[in-house]
A and B are shown apart, each in its own frame.
Chain A
Amino acid sequence: MAVSIEVQRSRGWQGLIPYAIILLATLPIIILYGWLLYSSFFERVEGLRPVGPFTLDNWRFLWAPERVQQLQNKSPIIPLTINTFVFAGSVAGVVLLVSSMAGYALSRLKFKGRRMFLGGVLLLHSFPTVVLLIATFVVLRWLGLYDQLLGVILVKAAFELPFGVWIMKGFFDTVPWDLEMAALVDGANRIVTWWRIVMPLVKPGMLALGLLSFVQGWNEFLLPFIFMPSGNQATLSMMVRSLLGEGRFVDYGTLTAIGLFYVMPVLALFLFAQEYFLRIYSGGVKG
């Protein structure tokens, strides 16, 4: 740490160049989010010039949804939010549960077809979801999970699993064999060793993967939209889509406010947990 600071100082203003480039590259996104926030507090915005005084009207959907004309005939926002949380949380939970066990097995156990399985996982990871929609539909129908949140949770988790399994295998690979051997000699069985010795050591990876899967679930639109057509258990992404797609007059003020409301959890997660997100790409360096 001290070393890198030293280096920066000696370079003087040149050390700022990378930051300048990063700032330049991210500026459009920052401006867009800024504009979103800004315009959610005015009735209308023309370019950057607000029309009318500062108002909280656009956020009325939070406390008085019945007065928002656009939200008539729609599910109230709070249950939708809860649905989205349940959806994203369950996806993260399933991904963590399966990835942590499958990753361990792939990292530690010898079994027939292990290499092929690893290759297959990688292949699946690069497979576009859309291609499998019809097959997935058939499977869901057959399981009786079509048009249910549970079904979509399973589908989304399944699509996230190749990445999760691969990442967790990487984290498990960094745990020295010696530790497991020591635990076995100390009297633990394989399960206890996995749970009490190995899992605590891959906790940073679990945290990162859990957060990432949560965000993936939170942002998911296509799967709930297609596999829950009735909208009984709709999620926020479906609602934002429906506000846009109504065809007639669109209340952009409310739309920006709802959109902002929708991305806030994700922004918050990235702000507070960016350290963990970074770890996932550093290949599971021990924290």
Chain B
Amino acid sequence: MRVLLDQLSKSFGPVAAVESLDLEIRSGEFVALLGPSGCGKTTTLLMVAGIYKPTAGTIVFGERRVEHLLPKDRGIGMVFQSYALYPHMSVEQNIAFPLDVQRKIPRPERDRRVRAAAEQVQVGHLLARKPAQLSGGQQQRVALARALVKQPDILLLDEPLSNLDARLRHAMRGEIKRLQKDLGITSIFVTHDQVEALTMADRVALMRDGRLLAYDTPEELYAWPRNLFVAEFIGNPPMNFLPVEITQRDGSLVAVSDGLTIDLPESRRAALAASAPARATLGIRPEDVSIEPAGQGHLSGEVYVVEPMGREQVVDVRVGSWAMRVIAPASFGGQIGDRLDVALDVERVHLFDPDSGERIG
């Protein structure tokens, strides 16, 4: 079912948690609300759930306006960050609760659906247990089963993986994504972890200070960050930034900083020439920088520290007072203090207006 948020706002007293949020989620789509803590993503989710009443704006499910409806009348299932399993009920009673409160589902039907929901997330053998007797991963599966048992139109997940350990998180990431695709259920999940958002979601809505900053597929967000915040937030290790001046030189556009001159590629010139300010923030991802023998790169510097990651190494290079992270192959044998050159892949350079933070060109 399609979900449409139109000019959605929520204030707590004088504090605006969410401001004029527009978001459209297509039927069957899996969307991540991503942002640092306090950015309004959970508030948005709770408004969709019906726990919070919006201060202004509309929420549409399918063709139906729902912002005035109680949570129980919205046809949603939700998994909470704490899982929020009812501690005094068995797993079976927990999963059955959404059916039991409806009161019109006959007993055999209820039992069948509880069992099916439990089997779907592999907790069929735990039905008699109490939540306190389950591991974190099992609790989360039970929470999922409870959210899905009434076959909701929309599934909401609030930081679903944040309470799991790293290994389990990886496993559940794949499982939740697969489950969402198998059921084809429109889903929204909230996370502060960009890896979760990029790996699981069809589209990612990046929020900060109650505003939507970008809404796109993970690939687009990564390849074409719309502004500085997106560029900073998405990507691990994060993008390198460098203040530059943009000038004409010999008929081509160049970005200049101390000791660095980069010829900007042909493809960008047209766009840049029209709107280019004199100053800009140049961004380059660590994997778009390569380490070259001395004298063959754009910049020369010194190895500050090397972090082996197994498949690759992250090398911190100090260029003057400026630190640059570079992804080097695992075979890179540099040591702290080595002198070397780095080369930037000029096709992959990002330029941002240093004042507005918006992308240029």
Question: A-side interface residues toward B, CB under 8 Å?
Answer: 176, 178-179, 181-189, 192, 196-197, 200-201, 286
Selected from A183, A185, A196, the residue in CB contact (under 8 A) with B76 is A185
Judge whether B304 is part of the interface by a CB distance below 8 angstroms.
Answer: no
A176→B86 CA distance, assembly (Å) = 10
State in angstroms the CA–CA spacing of A179 and B70 once bound together.
16
Q: Decide if B98 touches A201 in the complex (CB within 8 Å).
A: no
Closest to B79 in A: A182
Cross-chain contact B80 with A181 (CB below 8 angstroms): yes
Q: How far is the CB of A193 from chain B (nearest CB, A)?
A: 9
Determine whether the beta carbon of B150 is less than 8 Å from that of A201.
no
* Contact status B98-A186, CB under 8 Å: yes
**Is B82 within 8 A of A201, CB to CB?**
no
What are 19 A-B pairs with beta-carbon distances under 8 A? Answer: A176-B84, A178-B80, A178-B84, A179-B86, A181-B46, A181-B49, A181-B51, A181-B78, A181-B84, A183-B86, A184-B70, A185-B50, A185-B71, A185-B76, A186-B98, A188-B101, A189-B72, A201-B87, A286-B87
Kindly identify which residue among B81, B87, B102 contacts A187, using a CB–CB cutoff of 8 Å: B102
**CA gap between A286 and B132 in the complex, in Å:** 13
Q: Knowing A187-B72, A188-B72 touch, does A182 contact B150 (C-beta < 8 A)?
A: no
* Interface secondary structure of A, over-half rule: helix
A176 CB contacts on chain B under 8 angstroms: 82, 84
- Is chain B's interface secondary structure helix, strand, loop, or mixed overall? loop
Q: A186 and B146 in contact (CB under 8 A), knowing A200-B88, A201-B87?
A: yes
Cβ–Cβ < 8 Å partners of A188 in chain B: 72, 97, 101
Q: Given B77, B82, B87, B102, which contacts A185 in the complex, CB threshold below 8 Å? A: B77
Residues of B that sit less than 8 Å from A by CB: 46, 49-51, 70-72, 76-78, 80-82, 84, 86-88, 97-98, 101-102, 146, 150, 156
Looking at A188, A189, A200, which has the most chain B CB atoms within 10 Å of its CB? A188
* Residues on A with beta carbons closer than 8 Å to the beta carbon of B46: 181
Which of chain A's residues have a CB closer than 8 A to the CB of B78?
A: 181-182, 185
Residue of B nearest to A175 (CB): B87
Known A189-B72, A192-B101; contact A184-B51, beta-carbon cutoff 8 A: yes
Additional pairs, 12, CB under 8 Å, beyond known A178-B82, A188-B72: A178-B81, A179-B84, A182-B80, A182-B146, A183-B86, A184-B50, A185-B49, A185-B50, A185-B71, A185-B76, A187-B98, A200-B88
Cβ–Cβ < 8 Å partners of A184 in chain B: 50-51, 70-72
For B71, the chain A residues whose CB sits under 8 A away are 181, 184-185, 187
Interface centre among B46, B77, B86, B146 (most CB of A within 10 A): B86
B residues within 8 A CB of A196?
Answer: 101
Docked complex Cα distance between A180 and B98 (Å): 13
Question: Closest CB-CB distance, A191 to chain B, in whole Å?
Answer: 11
